[in-house]
Amino acid sequence: MAAAGLVSSEARKKQVRFSHPYLEVTPQIIYRSGKSRPTDAKDLVGKKIMVLKGSTHAEQLAQLKQKFPGIEYEESDAVEVVDLLRMVDEGQIDLTLVDSNEVAMNQVYFTNIRVAFDLGDASNQSWAVAAGDDNSLLNEINEYLDKVKKNGTLQRLKDRYYGHVDVLGYMGATTFAQHLQQRLPKYEQHFKAYAKKEKVDWRLLAAVGYQESLWQPAVTSKTGVRGLMMLTQNTAQAMGVSNRLDPKQSIMGGAKYLAYMKDQLDESIQEPDRTWFALAAYNVGSGHLDDARKLAAKEGLNPDKWLDVKKILPRLSEKKWYSKTRYGYARGGE
Protein backbone atom coordinates (compact mmCIF):
# COMPACT_ATOMS: atom_id res chain seq x y z
CA MET A 1 0.00 0.00 0.00
CA ALA A 2 1.19 3.52 -0.78
CA ALA A 3 -0.26 6.51 1.05
CA ALA A 4 2.00 9.24 -0.24
CA GLY A 5 -0.03 12.02 -1.81
CA LEU A 6 -0.40 10.16 -5.09
CA VAL A 7 -2.49 11.60 -7.89
CA SER A 8 -4.53 8.93 -9.62
CA SER A 9 -3.47 9.59 -13.20
CA GLU A 10 -4.45 7.39 -16.14
CA ALA A 11 -0.84 6.27 -16.59
CA ARG A 12 -0.59 5.17 -12.97
CA LYS A 13 -3.90 3.32 -13.12
CA LYS A 14 -2.19 0.88 -15.47
CA GLN A 15 0.29 0.01 -12.72
CA VAL A 16 -1.67 0.17 -9.45
CA ARG A 17 -5.23 0.38 -8.16
CA PHE A 18 -6.40 3.55 -6.45
CA SER A 19 -8.72 4.07 -3.51
CA HIS A 20 -11.54 6.55 -3.26
CA PRO A 21 -10.13 10.11 -3.40
CA TYR A 22 -9.47 12.04 -0.20
CA LEU A 23 -8.08 15.37 -1.43
CA GLU A 24 -8.46 17.51 -4.54
CA VAL A 25 -5.31 19.31 -5.68
CA THR A 26 -4.27 21.47 -8.60
CA PRO A 27 -0.83 21.39 -10.29
CA GLN A 28 0.76 24.84 -10.05
CA ILE A 29 3.75 26.48 -11.68
CA ILE A 30 5.86 28.12 -8.96
CA TYR A 31 8.25 31.02 -9.53
CA ARG A 32 10.33 33.34 -7.35
CA SER A 33 8.99 36.70 -6.21
CA GLY A 34 10.78 39.54 -7.99
CA LYS A 35 11.24 37.53 -11.16
CA SER A 36 9.10 37.83 -14.27
CA ARG A 37 5.86 35.96 -13.70
CA PRO A 38 4.97 33.32 -16.31
CA THR A 39 1.32 33.61 -17.33
CA ASP A 40 0.91 30.60 -19.63
CA ALA A 41 2.68 27.54 -20.99
CA LYS A 42 4.67 29.37 -23.68
CA ASP A 43 6.37 31.42 -20.94
CA LEU A 44 8.03 28.22 -19.70
CA VAL A 45 10.30 28.16 -22.74
CA GLY A 46 13.88 29.01 -21.83
CA LYS A 47 13.37 28.58 -18.08
CA LYS A 48 15.31 26.29 -15.76
CA ILE A 49 12.66 23.87 -14.51
CA MET A 50 12.96 20.89 -12.19
CA VAL A 51 10.33 18.35 -11.12
CA LEU A 52 10.28 15.02 -9.32
CA LYS A 53 11.28 12.07 -11.46
CA GLY A 54 8.39 9.80 -12.35
CA SER A 55 5.80 12.26 -11.08
CA THR A 56 2.56 13.25 -12.75
CA HIS A 57 4.14 16.68 -13.13
CA ALA A 58 6.88 15.18 -15.29
CA GLU A 59 4.13 13.56 -17.37
CA GLN A 60 2.42 16.93 -17.78
CA LEU A 61 5.60 18.67 -18.90
CA ALA A 62 6.37 15.88 -21.35
CA GLN A 63 2.96 16.37 -22.94
CA LEU A 64 3.41 20.14 -22.94
CA LYS A 65 6.80 19.83 -24.61
CA GLN A 66 5.13 18.27 -27.64
CA LYS A 67 3.30 21.55 -28.19
CA PHE A 68 6.17 23.80 -27.07
CA PRO A 69 9.45 22.02 -27.99
CA GLY A 70 11.47 24.82 -26.42
CA ILE A 71 10.40 23.77 -22.92
CA GLU A 72 13.29 22.07 -21.13
CA TYR A 73 13.07 20.49 -17.70
CA GLU A 74 15.04 18.22 -15.42
CA GLU A 75 13.61 15.25 -13.56
CA SER A 76 15.33 14.40 -10.28
CA ASP A 77 14.97 11.50 -7.86
CA ALA A 78 17.44 13.08 -5.44
CA VAL A 79 15.06 15.73 -4.12
CA GLU A 80 11.68 16.05 -2.42
CA VAL A 81 8.95 18.62 -3.04
CA VAL A 82 10.25 20.83 -0.23
CA ASP A 83 13.67 20.83 -1.91
CA LEU A 84 12.13 22.03 -5.16
CA LEU A 85 10.32 24.84 -3.38
CA ARG A 86 13.49 25.80 -1.53
CA MET A 87 15.44 25.88 -4.79
CA VAL A 88 12.90 28.26 -6.32
CA ASP A 89 12.87 30.32 -3.12
CA GLU A 90 16.67 30.65 -3.23
CA GLY A 91 16.85 31.24 -6.98
CA GLN A 92 18.67 27.99 -7.81
CA ILE A 93 16.01 27.12 -10.38
CA ASP A 94 13.51 29.34 -12.16
CA LEU A 95 10.38 27.22 -11.87
CA THR A 96 8.92 24.02 -10.55
CA LEU A 97 5.58 22.27 -10.85
CA VAL A 98 3.98 20.98 -7.64
CA ASP A 99 0.52 20.35 -6.26
CA SER A 100 -1.43 23.15 -4.60
CA ASN A 101 -1.53 21.46 -1.20
CA GLU A 102 2.28 21.35 -1.09
CA VAL A 103 2.41 25.07 -1.80
CA ALA A 104 -0.17 25.74 0.90
CA MET A 105 1.76 23.81 3.53
CA ASN A 106 5.16 25.30 2.74
CA GLN A 107 4.58 28.95 1.83
CA VAL A 108 5.26 30.02 5.41
CA TYR A 109 8.76 28.53 5.19
CA PHE A 110 9.62 29.69 1.68
CA THR A 111 8.43 33.26 1.61
CA ASN A 112 9.77 34.08 -1.86
CA ILE A 113 7.71 31.48 -3.72
CA ARG A 114 4.66 32.54 -5.71
CA VAL A 115 2.05 30.75 -7.79
CA ALA A 116 2.39 31.73 -11.45
CA PHE A 117 -0.65 29.83 -12.75
CA ASP A 118 -2.48 26.53 -12.54
CA LEU A 119 -1.30 24.02 -15.12
CA GLY A 120 -4.33 21.95 -15.98
CA ASP A 121 -7.40 20.93 -14.06
CA ALA A 122 -7.73 19.77 -10.48
CA SER A 123 -7.10 16.09 -9.79
CA ASN A 124 -7.58 13.72 -6.89
CA GLN A 125 -5.09 12.25 -4.47
CA SER A 126 -5.71 8.69 -3.35
CA TRP A 127 -4.03 5.74 -1.71
CA ALA A 128 -2.74 2.96 -3.94
CA VAL A 129 -2.45 -0.82 -3.72
CA ALA A 130 -0.69 -3.31 -5.93
CA ALA A 131 -2.40 -4.50 -9.07
CA GLY A 132 -4.17 -7.84 -8.78
CA ASP A 133 -7.46 -9.60 -8.25
CA ASP A 134 -7.56 -9.48 -4.43
CA ASN A 135 -9.70 -6.50 -3.43
CA SER A 136 -9.71 -7.11 0.33
CA LEU A 137 -7.13 -4.45 1.21
CA LEU A 138 -8.58 -1.91 -1.22
CA ASN A 139 -12.05 -2.46 0.22
CA GLU A 140 -10.75 -1.92 3.76
CA ILE A 141 -9.04 1.30 2.69
CA ASN A 142 -12.16 2.59 0.98
CA GLU A 143 -14.28 1.79 4.03
CA TYR A 144 -11.81 3.68 6.22
CA LEU A 145 -11.71 6.73 3.92
CA ASP A 146 -15.49 6.80 3.69
CA LYS A 147 -15.67 6.62 7.48
CA VAL A 148 -13.29 9.53 8.14
CA LYS A 149 -15.12 11.63 5.57
CA LYS A 150 -18.46 10.92 7.20
CA ASN A 151 -17.41 11.47 10.83
CA GLY A 152 -15.53 14.70 10.11
CA THR A 153 -12.01 13.42 10.80
CA LEU A 154 -10.82 14.15 7.27
CA GLN A 155 -12.21 17.68 7.32
CA ARG A 156 -10.55 18.32 10.69
CA LEU A 157 -7.22 17.23 9.24
CA LYS A 158 -7.68 19.51 6.24
CA ASP A 159 -8.52 22.40 8.55
CA ARG A 160 -5.50 21.65 10.72
CA TYR A 161 -2.94 21.60 7.91
CA TYR A 162 -4.47 23.93 5.34
CA GLY A 163 -6.86 26.13 7.30
CA HIS A 164 -4.23 28.82 7.85
CA VAL A 165 -3.55 29.43 4.18
CA ASP A 166 -6.26 31.97 3.36
CA VAL A 167 -5.63 33.81 6.63
CA LEU A 168 -1.84 34.04 6.46
CA GLY A 169 -1.11 34.56 2.78
CA TYR A 170 2.30 35.37 1.33
CA MET A 171 2.77 38.72 3.04
CA GLY A 172 1.73 37.29 6.37
CA ALA A 173 4.09 34.37 5.89
CA THR A 174 6.98 36.72 5.16
CA THR A 175 6.29 38.81 8.24
CA PHE A 176 5.86 35.73 10.40
CA ALA A 177 9.19 34.31 9.22
CA GLN A 178 10.91 37.57 10.18
CA HIS A 179 9.27 37.62 13.59
CA LEU A 180 10.29 34.01 14.22
CA GLN A 181 13.92 35.05 13.89
CA GLN A 182 13.79 38.50 15.47
CA ARG A 183 11.16 38.36 18.22
CA LEU A 184 10.49 34.81 19.38
CA PRO A 185 14.03 34.17 20.74
CA LYS A 186 13.54 36.97 23.29
CA TYR A 187 10.60 35.18 24.91
CA GLU A 188 11.03 31.51 24.01
CA GLN A 189 12.41 30.53 27.42
CA HIS A 190 9.36 32.03 29.15
CA PHE A 191 6.95 30.28 26.79
CA LYS A 192 8.66 26.96 27.48
CA ALA A 193 8.86 27.43 31.24
CA TYR A 194 5.25 28.47 31.86
CA ALA A 195 3.81 26.11 29.27
CA LYS A 196 5.52 23.22 31.04
CA LYS A 197 4.16 24.39 34.38
CA GLU A 198 0.59 24.59 33.06
CA LYS A 199 0.93 21.42 30.94
CA VAL A 200 0.44 23.27 27.68
CA ASP A 201 2.42 22.84 24.47
CA TRP A 202 4.83 25.78 24.46
CA ARG A 203 4.42 26.20 20.70
CA LEU A 204 0.68 26.57 21.16
CA LEU A 205 1.21 29.16 23.88
CA ALA A 206 3.66 31.04 21.66
CA ALA A 207 1.15 30.93 18.81
CA VAL A 208 -1.48 32.50 21.07
CA GLY A 209 0.98 35.24 21.93
CA TYR A 210 1.68 35.87 18.27
CA GLN A 211 -1.99 35.99 17.40
CA GLU A 212 -2.66 38.41 20.23
CA SER A 213 0.25 40.84 19.89
CA LEU A 214 2.71 39.66 17.23
CA TRP A 215 5.02 39.07 20.24
CA GLN A 216 5.07 42.75 21.15
CA PRO A 217 5.13 43.30 24.93
CA ALA A 218 3.92 46.91 25.09
CA VAL A 219 0.80 46.92 22.93
CA THR A 220 -2.58 48.15 24.16
CA SER A 221 -5.87 47.67 22.33
CA LYS A 222 -8.81 50.08 22.15
CA THR A 223 -10.69 47.82 24.55
CA GLY A 224 -7.98 48.05 27.19
CA VAL A 225 -6.32 44.65 26.92
CA ARG A 226 -2.56 44.95 27.17
CA GLY A 227 0.73 43.18 26.86
CA LEU A 228 2.23 40.33 24.92
CA MET A 229 -0.64 37.97 25.78
CA MET A 230 -3.23 40.79 25.65
CA LEU A 231 -4.81 40.27 29.06
CA THR A 232 -7.69 42.29 30.45
CA GLN A 233 -7.18 43.96 33.82
CA ASN A 234 -9.56 41.52 35.51
CA THR A 235 -7.93 38.48 33.93
CA ALA A 236 -4.48 39.72 34.87
CA GLN A 237 -5.49 40.14 38.51
CA ALA A 238 -7.13 36.71 38.59
CA MET A 239 -3.98 35.11 37.16
CA GLY A 240 -1.62 36.91 39.54
CA VAL A 241 -0.18 39.37 37.02
CA SER A 242 0.72 42.74 38.52
CA ASN A 243 2.29 44.28 35.40
CA ARG A 244 0.71 43.35 32.09
CA LEU A 245 3.51 45.03 30.15
CA ASP A 246 6.14 42.75 31.69
CA PRO A 247 6.49 40.01 29.03
CA LYS A 248 7.46 37.35 31.55
CA GLN A 249 4.43 38.07 33.73
CA SER A 250 2.19 38.33 30.69
CA ILE A 251 3.26 34.93 29.39
CA MET A 252 2.79 33.43 32.84
CA GLY A 253 -0.72 34.87 33.01
CA GLY A 254 -1.54 33.77 29.48
CA ALA A 255 -0.43 30.20 30.20
CA LYS A 256 -2.54 30.03 33.35
CA TYR A 257 -5.54 31.57 31.62
CA LEU A 258 -5.37 29.20 28.64
CA ALA A 259 -5.17 26.19 30.96
CA TYR A 260 -8.06 27.59 33.00
CA MET A 261 -10.21 28.09 29.90
CA LYS A 262 -9.57 24.50 28.89
CA ASP A 263 -10.44 23.16 32.34
CA GLN A 264 -13.75 25.05 32.34
CA LEU A 265 -15.04 23.44 29.16
CA ASP A 266 -17.79 20.84 29.30
CA GLU A 267 -16.55 17.28 29.65
CA SER A 268 -18.46 16.41 26.49
CA ILE A 269 -15.88 18.32 24.44
CA GLN A 270 -13.03 15.96 23.63
CA GLU A 271 -9.63 16.48 22.01
CA PRO A 272 -8.62 17.80 19.58
CA ASP A 273 -11.76 19.97 19.68
CA ARG A 274 -11.11 20.79 23.33
CA THR A 275 -7.92 22.66 22.50
CA TRP A 276 -9.62 24.63 19.71
CA PHE A 277 -12.47 25.60 22.03
CA ALA A 278 -9.98 26.71 24.68
CA LEU A 279 -8.28 28.96 22.14
CA ALA A 280 -11.62 30.44 21.12
CA ALA A 281 -12.56 31.05 24.76
CA TYR A 282 -9.20 32.76 25.36
CA ASN A 283 -9.86 35.12 22.47
CA VAL A 284 -13.57 35.84 22.59
CA GLY A 285 -14.48 34.81 26.14
CA SER A 286 -16.19 31.71 27.50
CA GLY A 287 -19.59 33.43 27.59
CA HIS A 288 -19.56 34.26 23.90
CA LEU A 289 -18.30 30.77 23.14
CA ASP A 290 -21.26 29.31 25.02
CA ASP A 291 -23.55 31.56 22.98
CA ALA A 292 -22.04 30.23 19.76
CA ARG A 293 -22.43 26.63 20.92
CA LYS A 294 -26.10 27.20 21.69
CA LEU A 295 -26.67 28.80 18.30
CA ALA A 296 -24.90 25.86 16.67
CA ALA A 297 -27.22 23.42 18.42
CA LYS A 298 -30.26 25.37 17.24
CA GLU A 299 -28.92 25.16 13.70
CA GLY A 300 -28.67 21.39 13.94
CA LEU A 301 -24.90 21.42 14.29
CA ASN A 302 -22.80 19.68 16.92
CA PRO A 303 -21.97 22.14 19.75
CA ASP A 304 -19.06 19.93 20.82
CA LYS A 305 -17.29 19.97 17.45
CA TRP A 306 -15.01 22.86 16.59
CA LEU A 307 -15.63 22.76 12.85
CA ASP A 308 -19.35 23.27 13.49
CA VAL A 309 -19.04 26.01 16.11
CA LYS A 310 -16.36 27.72 14.04
CA LYS A 311 -19.01 28.39 11.39
CA ILE A 312 -21.25 30.08 13.94
CA LEU A 313 -18.80 32.34 15.79
CA PRO A 314 -18.70 35.07 13.08
CA ARG A 315 -22.46 35.48 13.48
CA LEU A 316 -21.91 36.97 16.93
CA SER A 317 -21.03 40.25 15.20
CA GLU A 318 -24.39 40.33 13.36
CA LYS A 319 -27.32 41.90 15.22
CA LYS A 320 -29.89 39.40 13.98
CA TRP A 321 -27.86 36.71 15.73
CA TYR A 322 -26.25 38.31 18.78
CA SER A 323 -29.59 39.82 19.78
CA LYS A 324 -30.72 36.27 20.51
CA THR A 325 -27.77 35.48 22.79
CA ARG A 326 -27.09 36.00 26.47
CA TYR A 327 -23.75 37.78 26.14
CA GLY A 328 -24.46 39.80 23.00
CA TYR A 329 -22.06 41.20 20.44
CA ALA A 330 -18.60 39.73 19.89
CA ARG A 331 -16.01 39.83 17.13
CA GLY A 332 -16.39 36.11 16.57
CA GLY A 333 -14.75 36.22 13.16
CA GLU A 334 -11.38 36.76 14.82
**Cα–Cα–Cα angle for 303, 210, 100, nearest 5°?**
75
* C-beta of residue 47 within 8 angstroms of C-beta of residue 116: no
To the question of pTM greater than 0.85 for the whole model, the response is no
* C-beta of residue 314 within 8 angstroms of C-beta of residue 295: no
CATH of 2-165, one of 3.40.47.10, 3.60.20.10, 3.40.50.300, 3.40.190.10: 3.40.190.10
78: CB partners within 8 A, 6+ apart: none
Instruction: Delimit the CATH 1.10.530.10 region(s) of the chain.
Output: 186-323
Q: What angle do helix axes 153-162 and 136-150 make, rounded to 10 degrees?
A: 70
Instruction: Delimit the CATH 3.40.190.10 region(s) of the chain.
Output: 2-165
Q: pLDDT 10s per residue in the chain (334 long)?
A: 999 889 988 889 999 999 999 999 999 999 999 999 999 999 999 999 999 999 999 999 999 999 999 999 999 999 999 999 999 999 999 999 999 999 988 887 888 999 999 998 999 999 999 999 899 999 999 999 999 999 889 988 888 888 766 666 665 777 888 899 999 999 999 999 999 999 999 999 999 999 999 999 999 998 889 999 999 999 999 999 999 999 999 999 999 999 999 999 999 999 999 999 999 999 999 999 999 999 999 999 999 999 999 999 999 999 999 999 999 999 887 7
Distance between CA atoms of 224 and 220, rounded to whole angstroms?
Answer: 6
pLDDT for residue 161: 81
Q: Is 212 a catalytic residue?
A: yes
pLDDT for residue 222: 86
Long-range contacts of 176-183 (CB under 8 A, 24+ apart): 176/108, 176/210, 177/108, 177/109, 177/111, 179/210, 179/214, 179/215, 183/214, 183/215, 183/216
pLDDT for residue 158: 87
Catalytic residue among 140, 188, 198, 212: 212
- One-letter amino acid at 122 equals A
Topology (CATH) of 186-323: Lysozyme (1.10.530)
